[in-house]
C-alpha cells in the first residue's frame, strides 16, 4: 500500500496537568463532507493549535481535509463510499438529515415509502432477483456503515505517520460533534454510530474518554483561538461576537461574551441556534425543481422514479441519486462554488455551462437553455437557487444579534466558517448584512473547512488549560426492557406466546419484552425513558403484583438497529446471532397494588366488572446504574398522584460500587 504524508512531523501537544500520553480524535460527521482531526497529548505546557492534525490522506489519489459523505450498496461494484463513488452507481446522500425524530407528517410520508419498499422487496423475492439493498437500510444503518469506512481509513492514514504501536499503546479520547438543534434521538444515533466505527476501525486501540459537543461551539473554539493567535481579532474584553458554522446540510450559530483576553476565555451567552439551510438546499432546488423544468420528460429518463419518491417524502433527508443525477450534481458543485452574484465583477450577463450526461449527445433546445448537449444556466437562475438558503442564514444571524441586544449587550463581530463559507456569494451577503448592522466580519480562509473537527480536538484537551472542555458522555452498558403483554403480531411474536386476554378477548403475546434502552445509547448527564403500563384487574383482586425488567449485555447482529430478541425465553424458531461476551438478567420486583378508588381507577369491561390501572414506568440510566420507579399515572382531574408503587435500582458494575468508585 502507498505511503501517505500528513505534512509536518507529528509532535505531541504538550498537555497541562502532566497526564499520561493520549490521543484525541474528533469525528465531524457532516451532511455533505466528513472530517477527522486528531492530536497526541503529553507534557505540562499549554497545547499548540498548530500541532492539531487533520486526516487528509484518505487514499493515494484523494488528498483532502474532508471526505464526501456518500455511500452506495451497488451490487455490481460492492460497497463504495466517500471519494470512491462512480457515476454508474446509485448513491445515498444526506442520511444525517434523517437522524432526528421526524415530524408527524414527515413520519407518515416515510411510512408510505416504507410500504412501497416492502412491495419492492416482496417482488424481488418472488421474481428471484437480487434485493436492492439500499431500500432495506435506514439512516442509522447508512450512517454507521459509512463511518466504519471513515474510521478505518483514518486509522490507517494516521498510523503510517506514527512510531509503531502508538495507536495501540496510548488511550484514545473521542469527541463527537453534532448540529446545535439536534434532538436526543439524533445525538444518540450519531454517538452510537461513531463508537461502532471506532470499535471497527481502531480494533486494537483502547477507548479513553468520550465527549460530545455542538458543531458551532467546536467551530468557535478553533476559529477564535486561530484568529487571536494570528492577531486579527479586534475584540476587547466585555464584547460579544457571533460564530456562524455554515455547512452543507445545517447552519449553526452561537454567541459568546469575552470574559478575558489573556488567557482567552469566551463565555457562551446565547443558546445555540441553527437550521437545515446549508448548501444542500441549493442542490435540492437544482435537482428537483430546476432540472425537471429544463429537461421536461427527459428528466424521468435520466432519473426514473426520483421525482415520485421526492413528492412522497419532502423532508429533505436521505436521498438516493441515480447515475445521471450524480454526474450532473458533480458538475454543478463547481458552478455553485464559483458563483459570486450577478453584480460581482460584471457578471450581469454571465452564463454557466453544465455538460449533460452522455445520452443527451448534441441535443439542442434553445427555449429550455440546452445547446449541443449542454445546459446553460444564467446567473439570474443561480441567484434564485441561492435564495433557498441565504435569506434563512441571514435570519438566523439576525436572531442571534437580537438575542444579544436583549441582554443589553452588542455583538462586535460575526465569524463565518464551515464548508459553505467557501461560497463568495454567501460571504458577500453576510458581510453586507454585518456592515448594515455596524458589526465586523471575519472569515478564516485558511482552515475554515476543518474548523469544527479541529475545534473538537481543542475541546477534548485537559481542563487545566485555557479551553472549554466538551462534556463527558457515556454509552448504556446494556439493553434494558420491561416484560409486557403486547397485542399479538405474527411477524414479531412466536406462536407459543399467543394467548387470549380474558378481560377484553384480544390476542396478546406473553413473555414479551419491550426494549426501552438499547446497549450503546447515549448517556449525557442521564438517560430518561418513560413507558405507560396498563394492569387490568377483577373487582376481587389480589393486591400482589410483579414487575420484570430485563438487562441484556449481549451484542446482537441481524436485527433492526441490532436490537435483542423480544421473547423472554430463547426459542429455536428465532435464533439471532450475538457476538462477544454477555448475559441476560431478568430482575423481578414485587409490589402492592393500591385499593381501587373511583377517582383513580377507570371502570371498564364485562358484566362481572374489572378495573384498569394506568401506571408510568420511569427508568433513569447513568453510567453505572439504572433507577426504576413505578407510579400510578397522574391525571389532572384526579388530583395529586399516589406515592410510587415501586422504587428500585440496578447497579451495572457491583464490584466498582463496593470499591467506592461510583
What pLDDT is stored for residue 124 in this prediction? 42
7 pLDDT tier (thresholds 50, 70, 90): very low
What pLDDT is stored for residue 252 in this prediction? 92
Tens digits of residue pLDDT in 63-72: 999 999 988 8
Lowest-pLDDT range of 391-400, 453-462, 515-524: 453-462
In 524-597, which ranges are E strands? 527-538, 544-552, 555-557, 577-579, 584-592
The answer to whether the CB of 292 falls within 8 A of the CB of 284 is no
Residue of 27, 472, 458 whose CA lies nearest to 209 = 472
187 pLDDT tier (thresholds 50, 70, 90): very high
Cα-Cα-Cα-Cα dihedral of 566, 185, 520, 67, to 10°?
Answer: 130
The answer to whether the CB of 439 falls within 8 A of the CB of 411 is yes
16 pLDDT tier (thresholds 50, 70, 90): very low
- Cα–Cα distance measured from residue 384 to residue 288, given in angstroms and rounded to the nearest whole number: 14
> What's the pTM?
0.79
589 pLDDT tier (thresholds 50, 70, 90): very high
What pLDDT is stored for residue 272 in this prediction? 87
The answer to whether the CB of 368 falls within 8 A of the CB of 296 is yes
What pLDDT is stored for residue 76 in this prediction? 64
Question: What is the three-class DSSP state of 486?
Answer: strand
Tell me 655's DSSP state.
H
640 pLDDT tier (thresholds 50, 70, 90): low
Q: Which three cell numbers stand for residue 616?
A: 408510568
Tens digits of residue pLDDT in 554-575: 888 765 556 788 888 865 445 5
What would the DSSP string read from start to end of 81-128? ETT---TTS-EEE-GGGGSSPPPHHHHHHHHHHHHHHHHHHHHHHHHT
Q: How far is CA 537 from CA 503, 542, 641, in A?
A: 8, 8, 19
- Cα–Cα distance measured from residue 244 to residue 238, given in angstroms and rounded to the nearest whole number: 20
Q: How far is CA 14 from CA 8, 65, 122, 164, in A?
A: 17, 24, 59, 21
What pLDDT is stored for residue 196 in this prediction? 93
Residue 120: pLDDT above 50? Answer: no
Q: How far is CA 114 from CA 111, 121, 291, 524, in A?
A: 5, 10, 26, 32
What pLDDT is stored for residue 121 in this prediction? 43
Within 10 angstroms of residue 621's Cβ, the number of other Cβ atoms is 24
Q: How far is CA 12 from CA 42, 50, 425, 513, in A?
A: 6, 11, 39, 49
Q: Which three cell numbers stand for residue 88?
A: 454508474
Cα-Cα-Cα-Cα dihedral of 50, 55, 56, 60, to 10°?
Answer: 140
Q: How far is CA 9 from CA 47, 85, 160, 532, in A?
A: 16, 31, 12, 58
The answer to whether the CB of 166 falls within 8 A of the CB of 9 is no
The answer to whether the CB of 494 falls within 8 A of the CB of 232 is no
Question: What is the three-class DSSP state of 200?
Answer: helix
Tens digits of residue pLDDT in 130-170: 444 555 678 898 999 999 999 999 999 999 988 888 999 99
**Number of DSSP helices (H) and strands (E) in the chain, helices first:** 15, 35
Residue 395: pLDDT above 90? Answer: yes
Question: What is the three-class DSSP state of 149?
Answer: helix
CA 74 to chain centroid, in Å, comes to 24
Residue 380: pLDDT above 80? Answer: yes
Let me know if 55 is exposed, middle or buried by CB neighbors in 10 A (0-12, 13-18, 19+).
buried
Q: Does residue 566 come out as left (phi exceeding 0), alpha (psi in the -120 to 50 range) or beta? A: alpha
Cα-Cα-Cα-Cα dihedral of 574, 579, 580, 583, to 10°?
Answer: -20
- Cα–Cα distance measured from residue 496 to residue 493, given in angstroms and rounded to the nearest whole number: 8
* Greatest CA separation for the chain: 88
What pLDDT is stored for residue 2 in this prediction? 34
Within 8 A by CB and 6+ apart from 255, the residues are 240, 241, 242, 243, 268, 269, 270, 400, 403, 404, 411
Query: What percentage of the chain reaches a pLDDT higher than 70?
Result: 77
The answer to whether the CB of 484 falls within 8 A of the CB of 100 is no
- Cα–Cα distance measured from residue 33 to residue 41, given in angstroms and rounded to the nearest whole number: 27
Residue 662: pLDDT above 60? Answer: no
Residue of 138, 125, 149 whose CA lies nearest to 34 = 149
- The residue with cell 439493553 is 479
Residue of 244, 515, 571 whose CA lies nearest to 396 = 244
Residue of 63, 96, 95, 291 whose CA lies nearest to 181 = 96
- Cα–Cα distance measured from residue 14 to residue 45, given in angstroms and rounded to the nearest whole number: 5
590 pLDDT tier (thresholds 50, 70, 90): very high
- The residue with cell 501517505 is 4
Residue of 420, 430, 431, 443 whose CA lies nearest to 394 = 430
- Cα–Cα distance measured from residue 335 to residue 330, given in angstroms and rounded to the nearest whole number: 9
- Cα–Cα distance measured from residue 15 to residue 330, given in angstroms and rounded to the nearest whole number: 43
Average pLDDT, the chain: 81
What pLDDT is stored for residue 641 in this prediction? 56
Tens digits of residue pLDDT in 254-273: 998 888 876 667 788 988 89
Domains of the chain: 13-211 (3.30.420), 218-277+392-453+462-472 (3.30.420.40), 280-386 (no CATH), 476-658 (no CATH)
85 pLDDT tier (thresholds 50, 70, 90): confident
Residue 439: pLDDT above 70? Answer: yes
Lowest-pLDDT range of 118-122, 434-438, 499-503, 609-613: 118-122
β-pairing verdict for 646-651 and 625-632: antiparallel
Mean predicted confidence (pLDDT) in 348-370 = 78
What would the DSSP string read from start to end of 276-344? S-STHHHHHHIIIIIHHHHHTTHHHHHSTTHHHHHHH--SS--EEE-HHHHHHHHHHHHHHHH---TTG
The answer to whether the CB of 482 falls within 8 A of the CB of 548 is yes
Within 8 A by CB and 6+ apart from 183, the residues are 100, 101
Within 10 angstroms of residue 338's Cβ, the number of other Cβ atoms is 12
Q: What is the H or E stretch that residue 593 is in?
A: none
Q: Angle 516-522-527 (CA atoms, 0-180°, nearest 5)?
A: 55
Q: Which residues pair with 35 in a beta bridge?
A: 28
Question: What is the three-class DSSP state of 52?
Answer: coil
Mean predicted confidence (pLDDT) in 212-225 = 86
Tens digits of residue pLDDT in 292-335: 999 888 888 777 767 766 665 555 556 677 778 888 888 999 99
Amino acid at each position: 500500500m502507498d505511503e501517505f504524508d500528513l505534512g509536518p512531523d507529528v509532535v505531541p501537544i504538550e498537555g497541562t496537568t502532566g497526564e499520561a500520553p493520549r490521543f484525541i480524535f474528533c469525528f465531524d460527521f457532516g451532511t455533505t463532507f466528513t472530517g477527522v482531526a486528531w492530536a497526541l497529548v503529553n507534557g505540562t505546557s499549554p497545547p499548540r493549535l498548530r500541532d492539531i492534525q487533520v486526516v487528509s490522506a484518505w487514499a493515494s489519489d484523494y488528498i483532502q481535509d474532508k471526505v464526501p459523505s456518500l455511500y452506495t450498496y451497488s451490487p455490481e461494484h460492492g460497497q463504495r463510499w466517500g471519494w470512491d463513488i462512480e457515476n454508474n452507481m446509485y448513491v445515498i446522500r444526506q442520511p444525517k438529515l434523517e437522524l432526528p425524530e421526524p415530524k408527524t407528517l414527515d413520519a407518515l410520508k416515510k411510512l408510505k415509502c416504507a410500504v412501497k419498499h416492502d412491495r419492492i422487496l416482496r417482488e424481488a423475492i418472488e421474481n428471484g432477483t437480487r434485493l436492492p439493498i439500499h431500500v432495506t437500510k435506514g439512516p442509522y444503518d447508512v450512517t454507521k456503515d459509512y463511518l466504519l469506512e471513515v474510521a478505518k481509513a483514518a486509522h490507517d492514514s494516521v498510523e503510517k505517520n506514527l512510531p509503531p504501536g502508538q495507536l495501540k499503546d496510548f488511550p484514545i479520547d473521542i469527541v463527537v460533534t453534532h448540529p446545535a438543534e439536534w434532538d436526543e434521538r439524533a445525538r444518540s444515533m450519531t454517538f452510537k454510530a461513531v463508537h461502532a466505527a471506532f470499535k471497527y476501525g481502531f480494533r486494537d486501540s483502547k477507548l479513553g474518554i468520550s465527549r460530545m459537543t455542538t458543531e458551532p461551539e467546536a467551530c468557535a473554539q478553533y476559529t477564535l483561538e486561530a484568529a487571536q493567535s494570528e492577531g486579527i481579532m479586534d475584540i476587547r474584553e466585555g464584547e460579544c461576537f457571533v460564530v456562524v458554522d455554515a455547512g452543507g446540510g445545517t447552519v449553526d450559530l452561537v454567541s459568546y461574551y469575552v470574559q478575558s483576553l489573556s488567557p482567552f476565555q469566551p463565555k457562551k451567552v446565547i443558546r445555540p441556534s441553527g437550521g437545515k439551510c446549508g448548501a444542500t438546499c441549493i442542490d435540492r432546488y437544482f435537482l428537483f425543481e430546476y432540472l425537471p423544468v429544463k429537461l421536461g420528460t427527459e428528466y424521468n429518463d435520466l432519473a426514473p422514479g426520483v421525482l415520485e419518491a421526492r413528492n412522497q417524502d419532502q423532508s429533505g433527508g436521505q436521498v438516493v441519486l441515480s447515475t445521471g443525477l450524480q454526474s450532473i450534481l458533480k458538475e454543478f458543485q463547481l458552478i455553485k462554488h464559483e458563483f459570486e452574484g450577478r453584480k460581482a465583477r460584471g457578471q450581469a450577463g454571465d452564463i454557466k455551462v453544465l455538460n449533460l450526461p452522455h445520452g443527451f449527445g448534441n441535443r439542442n433546445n434553445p427555449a429550455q437553455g440546452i445547446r449541443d448537449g449542454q445546459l446553460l444556466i444564467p446567473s439570474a437562475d443561480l441567484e434564485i437557487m441561492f435564495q433557498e438558503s441565504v435569506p434563512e442564514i441571514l435570519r438566523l444571524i439576525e436572531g442571534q444579534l437580537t438575542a444579544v441586544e436583549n441582554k443589553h449587550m452588542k455583538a462586535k463581530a460575526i465569524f463565518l466558517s464551515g464548508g459553505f463559507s467557501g461560497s463568495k456569494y454567501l460571504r458577500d451577503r453576510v458581510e453586507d448584512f454585518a456592515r448594515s448592522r455596524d458589526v465586523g466580519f471575519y472569515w478564516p480562509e485558511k482552515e475554515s473547512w476543518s474548523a469544527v473537527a479541529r475545534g473538537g480536538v481543542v475541546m477534548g484537551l485537559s481542563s487545566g488549560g485555557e479551553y472549554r472542555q466538551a462534556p463527558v458522555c457515556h454509552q448504556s452498558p446494556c439493553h434494558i426492557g420491561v416484560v409486557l403483554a403486547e397485542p399479538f403480531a405474527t411477524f414479531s411474536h412466536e406462536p407459543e406466546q399467543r394467548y387470549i386476554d380474558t378481560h377484553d378477548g384480544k390476542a396478546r403475546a406473553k413473555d414479551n419484552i419491550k426494549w426501552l434502552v438499547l446497549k450503546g445509547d447515549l448517556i449525557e448527564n442521564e438517560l430518561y425513558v418513560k413507558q405507560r403500563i396498563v394492569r387490568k384487574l377483577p373487582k376481587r383482586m389480589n393486591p400482589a403484583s410483579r414487575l420484570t425488567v430485563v438487562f441484556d449485555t449481549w451484542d446482537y447482529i441481524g436485527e433492526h438497529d441490532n436490537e435483542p430478541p423480544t421473547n423472554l425465553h430463547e426459542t429455536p424458531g428465532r435464533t439471532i446471532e450475538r457476538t462477544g461476551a454477555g448475559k441476560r438478567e431478568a430482575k423481578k420486583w414485587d409490589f402492592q397494588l393500591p385499593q381501587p378508588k373511583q377517582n383513580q381507577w377507570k371502570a371498564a369491561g364485562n358484566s362481572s366488572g374489572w378495573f384498569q390501572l394506568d401506571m408510568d414506568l420511569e427508568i433513569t440510566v447513568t453510567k453505572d446504574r439504572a433507577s426504576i420507579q413505578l407510579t400510578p399515572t397522574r391525571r389532572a382531574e384526579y388530583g395529586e398522584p399516589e406515592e410510587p408503587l415501586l422504587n428500585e435500582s440496578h447497579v451495572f458494575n457491583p464490584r466498582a460500587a463496593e470499591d467506592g468508585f461510583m
